[in-house]
Amino acid sequence: MLPIDLTSLVAVVLGISIVLIPVIGLTARYALSPTVEAFAKLFETKGNDEAIRILERRMELQEQEIALLSQTIRSLTEAREFERQLGAPSGGAADPSASGSA
Protein backbone atom coordinates (compact mmCIF):
# COMPACT_ATOMS: atom_id res chain seq x y z
CA MET A 1 0.00 0.00 0.00
CA LEU A 2 2.67 2.51 1.00
CA PRO A 3 5.40 3.12 -1.54
CA ILE A 4 7.97 2.80 1.29
CA ASP A 5 8.36 -0.35 3.33
CA LEU A 6 7.81 0.83 6.92
CA THR A 7 9.61 -2.14 8.49
CA SER A 8 12.74 -1.53 6.44
CA LEU A 9 12.68 2.18 7.23
CA VAL A 10 12.45 1.53 10.99
CA ALA A 11 15.26 -1.02 10.79
CA VAL A 12 17.52 1.42 8.92
CA VAL A 13 16.79 4.27 11.36
CA LEU A 14 17.50 2.03 14.37
CA GLY A 15 20.68 0.69 12.75
CA ILE A 16 21.97 4.20 12.07
CA SER A 17 20.98 5.31 15.59
CA ILE A 18 23.10 2.55 17.13
CA VAL A 19 26.17 4.12 15.54
CA LEU A 20 25.20 7.80 15.58
CA ILE A 21 24.09 8.13 19.22
CA PRO A 22 27.54 7.32 20.69
CA VAL A 23 29.24 9.47 18.05
CA ILE A 24 26.96 12.41 18.82
CA GLY A 25 27.52 11.87 22.55
CA LEU A 26 31.32 11.88 22.26
CA THR A 27 31.27 14.86 19.94
CA ALA A 28 29.01 16.81 22.30
CA ARG A 29 31.19 15.89 25.27
CA TYR A 30 34.39 17.19 23.70
CA ALA A 31 32.81 20.09 21.84
CA LEU A 32 30.74 21.38 24.76
CA SER A 33 33.25 20.79 27.55
CA PRO A 34 34.98 24.22 27.13
CA THR A 35 31.57 25.90 27.17
CA VAL A 36 30.49 24.03 30.28
CA GLU A 37 33.78 24.84 32.00
CA ALA A 38 33.38 28.52 31.12
CA PHE A 39 29.87 28.57 32.57
CA ALA A 40 31.07 26.78 35.70
CA LYS A 41 33.87 29.30 36.16
CA LEU A 42 31.45 32.19 35.58
CA PHE A 43 29.01 30.94 38.20
CA GLU A 44 31.85 30.19 40.62
CA THR A 45 33.18 33.73 40.19
CA LYS A 46 29.69 35.15 40.61
CA GLY A 47 29.31 33.18 43.84
CA ASN A 48 32.67 34.46 45.07
CA ASP A 49 31.70 38.04 44.26
CA GLU A 50 28.49 37.61 46.21
CA ALA A 51 30.37 36.07 49.14
CA ILE A 52 32.82 38.99 49.10
CA ARG A 53 29.92 41.45 49.09
CA ILE A 54 28.35 39.68 52.07
CA LEU A 55 31.66 39.69 53.96
CA GLU A 56 32.16 43.38 53.21
CA ARG A 57 28.69 44.12 54.57
CA ARG A 58 29.40 42.11 57.71
CA MET A 59 32.68 43.96 58.22
CA GLU A 60 30.88 47.29 57.81
CA LEU A 61 28.30 46.29 60.41
CA GLN A 62 31.02 45.16 62.81
CA GLU A 63 32.85 48.47 62.36
CA GLN A 64 29.64 50.33 63.14
CA GLU A 65 29.12 48.18 66.24
CA ILE A 66 32.69 48.85 67.39
CA ALA A 67 32.21 52.59 66.89
CA LEU A 68 28.98 52.45 68.89
CA LEU A 69 30.68 50.51 71.69
CA SER A 70 33.55 53.01 71.75
CA GLN A 71 31.09 55.88 72.00
CA THR A 72 29.20 54.12 74.80
CA ILE A 73 32.42 53.47 76.74
CA ARG A 74 33.45 57.11 76.29
CA SER A 75 30.05 58.27 77.60
CA LEU A 76 30.24 55.94 80.58
CA THR A 77 33.77 57.12 81.37
CA GLU A 78 32.66 60.75 81.21
CA ALA A 79 29.65 60.00 83.42
CA ARG A 80 31.83 58.22 85.98
CA GLU A 81 34.32 61.10 85.97
CA PHE A 82 31.46 63.59 86.43
CA GLU A 83 30.03 61.58 89.35
CA ARG A 84 33.50 61.32 90.89
CA GLN A 85 33.92 65.09 90.64
CA LEU A 86 30.48 65.61 92.22
CA GLY A 87 31.36 63.36 95.13
CA ALA A 88 34.84 64.78 95.69
CA PRO A 89 35.12 67.55 98.29
CA SER A 90 36.06 70.86 96.75
CA GLY A 91 38.60 73.12 98.45
CA GLY A 92 38.21 76.76 99.59
CA ALA A 93 35.10 78.92 99.88
CA ALA A 94 32.96 76.81 97.61
CA ASP A 95 32.31 74.32 100.43
CA PRO A 96 29.65 75.84 102.72
CA SER A 97 30.22 73.34 105.53
CA ALA A 98 33.92 74.21 105.74
CA SER A 99 33.28 77.98 106.08
CA GLY A 100 30.64 77.50 108.82
CA SER A 101 32.90 75.49 111.12
CA ALA A 102 35.84 77.88 110.97
pLDDT tens-digit series, residues 9-21: 899 999 999 999 9
Rounded-to-integer distance, Cα 20 and Cα 1, Å:
31
Does residue 94 register a pLDDT over 70? no
Q: DSSP characters for 42-59?
A: HHHHHHHHHHHHHHHHHH
Rounded-to-integer distance, Cα 57 and Cα 40, Å:
26
The pTM for the full model equals: 0.44
CA 53 to chain CA centroid, Å, is 5
For residue 87, name the pLDDT band (cuts at 50, 70, 90): confident
Task: Find the length of the chain.
Answer: 102
